[in-house]
Structure 1
């Protein structure tokens, strides 16, 4: 425990992620410096071109989901801070005082322009302490090399993350909307904690966290789901699925499919394609105006494996769009189907089993 201060506190940091970050930083910084040298020419001023970018690269490649690592944070934060530093250096000639004021005003300027970026503090300091190279550049310094360098780094980071199949720029999770056109919150937001609970918790902790509020909401809901899956992991999809599944193929007439939905009082029909593999699903929503065959009205199917935890289907079956999950094997052949009613009945029985009768003892 004596060394716990040296343990990284960054959640989700795996060896693979760190290796990717190192490769990305190598490519990003090297190419940014090389391209900057080609544009501006080589000389004693070249190291200053990339100095604050080293810290920017740590955020861009190691924690690309951070609000501090997004494109506007990097480009705006470095540029605005460098501009602040140049202005402060122009009016205040006492170095110690100028450095403190430059960093403080850089934080304020980045906050007001919504581009808070920690390396911006280094950009402000560089503008004050950069020496003859920065002094000779004057008010051009925040734009060339700082803004140019920042844009190059972001562009290279964007391309690298796409190749690495990482999400960048990171878009915070959107709040689920009610698909029924009413003002009620969607079903999954009517239970458990609410957005105001997150605000109250953040207010009580009185700290700033490096995570978007909507991402925090999504993380906490996933924690709730994983806790439920762990608690009820013995209940598998194969335990509650319907095995006599009514399905159609891609060449079934739309009118026939509509009649099957009505005759069997169901809301979803799996559609099979070649070699009896699942191709998608159709329901009354897709078939309402469809003509010809069901192949023209197929929607992507929500699927699960037979040994998946049934409780894990809750987010899908409460999204206001999916009425059933198709249980398939490794070859995408249909094994069964789980509806909202199936899962509701199973969870009700689980709750009844966990809750003793009034007056009973365990």
Structure 2
């Protein structure tokens, strides 16, 4: 019963080493410190604090979940930049704040979906562009460069640097694939699964997936089902 409750609320007991945790803690500290200093240089202090908020959310993903799909470079960079564009545009085109704010987030979510760069903190960046006040609005589209692109670049470089202290958590995840231990032999009672089978399974789920073991199991089961039905139809 307790395990079922934990599963329902999403409480994960996957073991994580102390080394991994301290790399995440230290990386988040220096990542946000760098972002704050950059923001404080280009903007006044109160605006810098607002801007750091969305980067703080990115820091959690980058340093605590470096292998997640939402944490990868294109998701982080594209998510923030696209959201900044959406936010600045809505702030300029819609003068009613209570309408511009949700519209900015909605446009950002849609753009991130279509451009395949979903990054939840991007929603905060879109909101900052709308609700940051007159001094931030005065920056116009320059806000996208200073401080958004600069800050995103800084925090990405920090994430890459800190990931190399631990070979098991290389970032981006592309560099971790070769470091992962591969089984010498895969034994399965099912026939080989093709790329098309997995494409079909992903289409059936019809939702963005930041993959975990449960999602992979579901994808696998759907792929097996599709493969069996395809094989039977051929026969």
TM over 0.5: yes
Give the TM-score normalised by the residue count of structure 1.
0.49
1:28-71 deviation line (CA, Å, top 9, x unaligned): 11122124434x26533221331210111011011111121111
Judging by fraction of residues, say which structure has more strand: 1
Aligned residue among 136, 139, 148 for 2:138:
136
Write the distance in 2 (CA, Å) between the matches of 1:6 and 1:142.
39
Cross-structure match for 1:210: 210
Q: Check whether the contact 1:49–1:149 (CA below 8 A) recurs between aligned residues.
A: no
Alpha-carbon shift at residue 148 of structure 1 (Å)? 0.8
Cross-structure match for 1:158: 160
Write the distance in 2 (CA, Å) between the matches of 1:11 and 1:200.
31
Tell me, yes or no, if structure 1 residue 44 matches structure 2 residue 50. Answer: no
Judging by fraction of residues, say which structure has more helix: 2
1:305-349 deviation line (CA, Å, top 9, x unaligned): xxxxxxxxxxxxxxxxxxxxxxxxxxxxxxxxxxxxxxxxxxxxx
Cross-structure match for 2:226: none
Give the TM-score normalised by the residue count of structure 2.
0.73
Write the distance in 1 (CA, Å) between the matches of 2:149 and 2:30.
19
Q: Check whether the contact 1:24–1:160 (CA below 8 A) recurs between aligned residues.
A: yes
Alpha-carbon shift at residue 149 of structure 1 (Å)? 0.7
1:227-283 deviation line (CA, Å, top 9, x unaligned): xxxxxxxxxxxxxxxxxxxxxxxxxxxxxxxxxxxxxxxxxxxxxxxxxxxxxxxxx
Write the distance in 2 (CA, Å) between the matches of 1:192 and 1:5.
28
Q: Relative to structure 1, is the Cα distance of residues 10 and 76 closer, same or farther in structure 2, using a 3 angstrom cutoff?
A: farther
Rg (Cα) greater in structure: 1
- Could you say which structure has the greater relative contact order, defined with CA pairs below 8 angstroms and 6 or more residues apart? 2
Cross-structure match for 1:87: 89
Q: Check whether the contact 2:6–2:12 (CA below 8 A) recurs between aligned residues.
A: no
Matched positions, count: 205
Which consecutive residues of structure 2, in runs of 5 or more, have no partner in the other structure? 179-184, 221-235
Write the distance in 1 (CA, Å) between the matches of 2:120 and 2:52.
15
Q: Relative to structure 1, is the Cα distance of residues 95 and 189 closer, same or farther in structure 2, using a 3 angstrom cutoff?
A: farther
Q: Check whether the contact 1:158–1:168 (CA below 8 A) recurs between aligned residues.
A: yes
Q: Check whether the contact 2:51–2:128 (CA below 8 A) recurs between aligned residues.
A: no
Deviates more, 1:6-15 or 1:69-78: 6-15
Write the distance in 2 (CA, Å) between the matches of 1:42 and 1:86.
18
Write the distance in 2 (CA, Å) between the matches of 1:15 and 1:63.
13
Cross-structure match for 1:24: 27
Deviates more, 1:2-11 or 1:164-173: 2-11
Write the distance in 2 (CA, Å) between the matches of 1:41 and 1:131.
12
Q: Check whether the contact 1:65–1:169 (CA below 8 A) recurs between aligned residues.
A: yes
SS of the residue 2:104 aligns to: helix
Cross-structure match for 2:58: 56
1:54-93 deviation line (CA, Å, top 9, x unaligned): 1110110111111211112112210110111110111111
Write the distance in 2 (CA, Å) between the matches of 1:164 and 1:150.
22
Q: Relative to structure 1, is the Cα distance of residues 198 and 86 closer, same or farther in structure 2, using a 3 angstrom cutoff?
A: same
Cross-structure match for 2:109: 107
Write the distance in 1 (CA, Å) between the matches of 2:95 and 2:5.
43
SS of the residue 2:117 aligns to: coil
Q: Relative to structure 1, is the Cα distance of residues 13 and 96 closer, same or farther in structure 2, using a 3 angstrom cutoff?
A: farther
Write the distance in 2 (CA, Å) between the matches of 1:41 and 1:117.
24
Write the distance in 1 (CA, Å) between the matches of 2:96 and 2:53.
23
Cross-structure match for 1:272: none
Alpha-carbon shift at residue 13 of structure 1 (Å)? 5.4
